[in-house]
A and B are shown apart, each in its own frame.
Chain A
Amino acid sequence: MRTALELERIGPGEWHLPADAEMCVPGAVFADRDTVEQLGRDEAGGAQWSALRQLRHVAMLPGIVGRAIALADVHPGYGFPIGGIGAFDPADGVVVVGGVGFDINCGVRMLATPLMRQDVAPLLERLGKRLFEAIPAGLGAEGAYRLTVAELDQVLISGAEYMVDAGYGVSEDLECIEEGGRMTAADPATVSQRAKQRQFRQIGTLGSGNHYLEVQVVEAVLDRTAADAYGLAEGQVVVSIHTGSRALGHQIGQDYLKIMAAAAARYGLEVPERELVCAPIDSTDGRNYLAAVACGANCAFANRQMIAHLVRSIFHEVTSLGMSDIRTLYDIGHNNAKFESHTVDGISRQLLVHRKGSTRAFALGAGEAPNAYRAVGHPILVGGTMGTSSYVLRGTEVGMRKTFGSGIHGAGRALSRKKAAKKFWGETVQTELESQGIQLWAHSPRGIAEEAPGAYKDIEQVVRASTESGISCSVAKLRPLAVVKG
């Protein structure tokens, strides 16, 4: 009989999971009381998969530094909890496949248009329809852009930069993508032929599940200085693209699960849960995996770059905008493992930070943000559901100290897909959204039911918890106008 884990409140929106004998470090949860109570119920009820138990498992891994962290959008994942962060010492720590997941560098690209809500209103129906037609989405959808083996290797090396060089974007885009749209550690030799073969037809595809494309309006500006820096104003129309590294990333995840299982056994690493198979960061297996993750990340950057190009083309066709009138506001992933510099106990250290369903969110002054944003901190792009608001937040000093500069990535699921499909009807959800003035363009009615707004936690509450604890600040609230789903 296991003892149920319990969290202790140590401050506004901040909870402590004390370290037991098997944990290397304590855990921390930055969330609202409802979320914490749900975590407690799952634990006490002996739920098959408890996010709190998964957080404890992360805290048991060798070389973890500081605390194992979960944010307000936490829910059970595989290995790491979703909304989980784990930082490891490169000298004696491990790199964990479950800390990145199958959808490597899944993330959000936000495009800022110069249009206001009233400009778009009469064109919205046509805009939604054309975006739905032009952007391949859903099971088995193929992109129009095809690559040779050699070209695909170049995409894995150069990411979004390759697509811009090929004419699908402008160089200014790269300045507003995390890592400049290119992770330099990428080595295509660490990626299997199968992973590459699966990707040939998938550049510029959205996928399915929780991936989406949304035309949104800035409903409220909550931090004028930061919104000005990001170039966001009330009533402005923006486009958000949520997708990842597609089949290439999925296959890298699958391949390395097997490789790391063998590596963990070889290095005598005992893992608390099988999905947490790992290898020392400072090992051939660890280095190869990180080089493959960088390839997956670059593929995701390239994918979002291509979709951004398609979005610009459709806006150009339907509205009076030119291709270069739509600016990349920011592009950032939420499934990744990256080397970063952080101050721990007053000492600056290089750490490998895993973020599984969590967004990197550096505070003001930190490097790696577009120059214009450095005075306010990194934008955090938080996806809501198809019927609720999305948010732009920003990173803070508190976040740097407490969460290794990380913020939430979405609302977080509350209901399983099966339960959601039983509770909601795709057609009914669509009608309800329409009555709220939200157009929904989707390939699968079943997919709509699984992704119904009611299947997610309340985004307002999740955002409030993040700002209450001080790890993030709200900048703008966005409302969906048209939603494209797989």
Chain B
Amino acid sequence: MVAVEWVDHTADVGFRVRGDSREAVFESAAHALFSIMLDVATVRVRTRHSVQVSANRLEELLVEWLSELLAQKDLNGQVFSHFQVNIDERDGSYRLIGDAWGEPLDRDRHQPKTEVKGVSYLGLRVGMEQSGLWIAQVVVDV
């Protein structure tokens, strides 16, 4: 179970996730993204989609990762419920190699909610809090 803190935004949906590593918050953010669109608990682990994205900043890397997963819904009809990522830093740039597991969207079984249109830069944040926990904040357009 991923603990998501929903951040109030009148038109769109904002969320905050925390974890003990930057990888953990990237995974939780992906989980939160799909939970806006459907009941993630009903998505079985049947297929794997591998992702490789890079960016100069962690915040942009997070947008790349989430928008890559979001696009799969339209490209291959896939939705996901489990995620695993590795992030490394090289020459001032970040690279993410990750996997997402799920199955084709089933409109009867997955209890669809609202489609996410895009991952915005509004209030975008990835960082470590004083407590030592990592935090990521994202607002998506629905």
Contact = CB atoms under 8 A, between A and B. Distances in A.
Interface stretch (A149-157, A201-209, A225-233): A201-209
Contacts of A202: 74
A212 to B, nearest CB: 13
A451 to B, nearest CB: 9
B137 to A, nearest CB: 10
B112 to A, nearest CB: 4
Most interface-central of A76, A201, A414 (chain B CB within 10 A): A76
Nearest to A445: B111
Contacts, number: 134
Contacts of B11: 75-77, 82, 413
A277 B8 contact: no
A209 B73 CA distance: 17
Interface string A52-87: 000000000000000000000001111100100000
A133 B90 CA distance: 52
Interface stretch (A245-253, A383-391, A399-407): A245-253
A198 B74 contact: yes
Interface stretch (B81-89, B94-102, B121-129): B121-129
Contacts of B64: 258
B113 A447 contact: yes
Interface string A298-328: 0000000000000000000000000000000
B74 A201 contact: yes
Nearest to A38: B10
A305 B140 CA distance: 28
A423 interface: no
B115 A254 contact: no
B9 interface: yes
Given A102-B141, A103-B141, A418 B112 contact: no
B75 interface: yes
A418 B6 contact: yes
B113 A444 contact: yes
Contact of B112 (A198, A250, A444): A444
A261 B60 contact: yes
Interface residues of A, number: 51
Contact of A209 (B38, B75, B114): B114
B41 interface: no
B67 A139 contact: no
A350 interface: no
Contacts of B7: 48
Contacts of B121: 78-79, 257, 261, 274-275, 277
A450 interface: yes
A282 interface: no
A76 B75 contact: no
Contacts of B105: 139-140
A417 B112 contact: no
Contacts of B136: none
Interface residues of B, number: 39
A190 interface: no
B71 A79 contact: no
Nearest to A195: B71
A422 B12 CA distance: 16
Given A261-B60, A274-B124, A275-B121, A78 B74 contact: no
B107 interface: yes
Contacts of B10: 49, 75-76, 413-416
Nearest to B38: A139
B119 interface: yes
A388 to B, nearest CB: 18
B123 A48 contact: yes
A419 B8 contact: yes
B42 to A, nearest CB: 13
B85 to A, nearest CB: 19
Given A76-B11, A273-B122, A446 B117 contact: no
Interface string A438-480: 0000011011001000000000000000000000000000000
A197 interface: yes
A101 interface: yes
Nearest to B107: A140
Contacts of A103: 117, 141
Interface string B43-78: 000000000000000001001100100010111010
Interface of A: 48-49, 75-79, 82, 98, 101-103, 138-141, 194, 197-199, 201-202, 207-209, 247, 249-251, 253-254, 257-258, 261, 273-275, 277, 413-419, 443-444, 446-447, 450, 486
Interface of B: 6-14, 37-38, 60, 63-64, 67, 71, 73-75, 77, 79, 105, 107, 111-115, 117-124, 139, 141-142
Given A102-B141, A443-B112, 5 more contacts: A140-B73, A140-B77, A197-B75, A254-B67, A416-B13
21 contacts: A48-B14, A48-B123, A78-B121, A78-B122, A78-B141, A82-B11, A102-B117, A138-B112, A139-B107, A139-B112, A140-B107, A199-B74, A209-B142, A247-B71, A253-B118, A258-B63, A275-B121, A417-B142, A446-B111, A450-B113, A450-B114
A-B pairs with lowest CB-CB distance, top 9: A102-B118, A139-B112, A78-B122, A198-B74, A274-B121, A78-B120, A102-B117, A140-B105, A208-B115
